[in-house]
Amino acid sequence: MDAPDALPVQLARLAREESAPLRSALDLVHAALAQRSGVRRAEVLAHEGGELVVVARAGEPGPVPGECAVVPLRHGGTELGLLHLHGGDPEGVDPAVRAAVGHHLAVALRDVAAAREQAELHRVTDAVRRLFEEGARASSVEAAGRLMAAVTADVLGAERTAVMLVDPDSLVTHVLGIGLPEGLEQQLAASLVGRLARDSPAWRRAAAAGGPEAVDDVATAPVRPGGFVRTLGVRSYVSLPLMSAEGLVGTALCGDVTRRRTWTAADRALAERLALQGAVVVDNARLRELERAHLRQLEHRAFHDQLTGLPNRAALLGCLGDALDPVTGDGRVALLLIDLDGFKRVNDTLGHHTGDVLLQQVAGRLRELLPAGATAARLGGDELAVALPGPATAHAADLARAVHERLGQPYGIEGRAVRTGASIGIAHAPRHATDTTGLLRAADEAMYRAKRAGSGPRTAP
């Protein structure tokens, strides 16, 4: 087709056949105008981030002598970009052909922009979904921070990423990295953990801005020598403040070390979304940590004596039950029941505070003597017990003698030497009983015989 309307017809046909035919359309334009007007190169430039960027090129590479004609690419009254025609006599192109070329390339450029926008939307959506799905499984603040670093590095294509997290007092608690050389994460942690985050200029700017900060060239940014940015070694970076309802909980910093990078508007928008969602992930992980700590505390209180820290009666019964259960134990367990002699006298003459301190020191001595696998418990008042399951039952008598001797030694309490003794009864399962109640009864009877005899531990008959 050599007629003037051949090119518009070809472009219209191409638009029907391809969904986003920018490159194919530009090839057609260049081929036709090279033949008619001697055009040696055709380029499409699009407006991106306030700049004109070449998005498609056809024809000769390198410098082209001669004139350059510029054709605006408008769609719906908006200029989307420009068509540059280099060499030959581009001004001699028929105005109707120029208009058709401008229209078809503008439509193709719009489709390219729409496709990029859709791809960017998918990129953002995928990143947010990954943060939420994996963040819901993050078992700790550290795990959430590492996830944030990994997603940020992946989505923004950064060579290095580090996340700094703080506690409610703004003290740095974690520094976690992705893509860092060996030893750099430890170096960052050594220089930052335990310090106030506000000492970092990058942190202060992030807190003041309330949103991501993109720096194309670190040399132009007011960063501190030896600080977060300099130690990370990036030449350009994006800082993402992690803002929660309680304030700044951390910051993610990602960048490149091999090049200075120009961060696009799309990069900045994505960083803003990541910062918002990352803060939620870190905050939720912190709440889960606090909840688990609270549950552990409640569980500890349920099975431990608050004064001595020893397991309580419920814990001892559970230990005995496990040892006697044919599934969890082998049916063998020795029980030492201990009653402190003279404890009431200490309370009556020296006061309950001294009695409490005495019980705490008794508990400490018991812990020192316990063999592996044994459990010491406070049953209430001045009554204590030790359970030795399995093979340890063979050492019950030796342990009882050691406990009797150690608890009979004087205690130093507020400058006084306080003395008490211990009556100890020993019972074995299955020899004396095969259930918890029977074992407690046998040990209790042996303990009262020891108290009456006053000559050391007694074993149930």
Contact (CB, 8 A) for 316 and 377:
yes
Nearest in space to 377 (alpha carbons), one of 458, 445, 313, 303: 313
Mean pLDDT for 425-447 is 94
Which residues contact residue 149 at a Cβ distance below 8 angstroms, ignoring those fewer than 6 apart?
161, 162, 163, 176, 177, 178, 252, 254
- How would residue 110 be classed by pLDDT, with cut points 50, 70 and 90? confident
DSSP string, 379-423: EETTEEEEEEEGGGGGGHHHHHHHHHHHHTS-EEETTEEE--EEE
Which single residue is written with the structure tokens 């134990």? 329
Quote the DSSP letter at residue 196.
B
pLDDT at position 50 is 67
CB 335 within 8 A of CB 385: yes
* Integer angstrom CA distances of residue 336 from 186, 309, 310, 321, 405: 49, 19, 15, 15, 14
Question: What is the reported pLDDT for 2?
Answer: 47
Q: What is the mean pLDDT of the chain?
A: 85
- The predicted model gives 288-301 an average pLDDT of 85
Tell me how far apart the alpha carbons of residues 239 and 255 are, in angstroms, rounded to a whole number: 9
Q: Of 229, 244, 429, 426, which is closest to residue 324 (Cα–Cα)?
A: 429
39: nearest Cα among 14, 7, 1: 7
Say yes or no to pLDDT of 278 above 90.
no
Name the residue with higher pLDDT: 120 or 16: 16
Range with the poorest average pLDDT among 28-42, 112-126, 381-395, 437-451: 112-126
Give the residue-averaged pLDDT of 259-264: 84
DSSP 8-state class, residue 216:
S
Work out the number of other CB atoms within 10 angstroms of the CB of residue 217: 12
Q: Tell me the HSE value of 438 on the side-chain side, using a 13 A CA sphere.
A: 10
Please state which of the ranges 146-155, 205-214, 374-383, 387-396 shows the lowest mean pLDDT.
205-214
pLDDT at 120 over 70: no
Q: What pLDDT is attached to residue 232?
A: 85
**Do 373 and 390 meet the contact criterion of CB atoms below 8 Å apart?**
yes
pLDDT digit string (tens) for 69-82? Answer: 888 988 888 888 89
Cβ-contact 47, 81 below 8 angstroms: yes
Concatenated DSSP letters for 299-334? Answer: HHHHHB-TTT--B-HHHHHHHHHHHHSTTTS-S-EE
Q: What is the pLDDT of residue 203?
A: 75
pLDDT in tens, 375-433: 999 999 999 999 999 888 989 999 999 999 999 999 999 889 999 999 999 999 999 99
Q: Tokens 């039950």 — which residue? A: 321
> Could you tell me which residues come within 8 angstroms of residue 422 by beta carbon, excluding any fewer than 6 positions away?
338, 339, 340, 341, 403, 404, 407, 408
pLDDT at position 368, please?
Answer: 94
Which domains are delineated in the chain?
A: 6-119 (3.30.450.40), 136-291 (3.30.450.40), 313-459 (3.30.70.270)
pLDDT tens readout for residues 128-146: 787 778 878 877 877 887 8
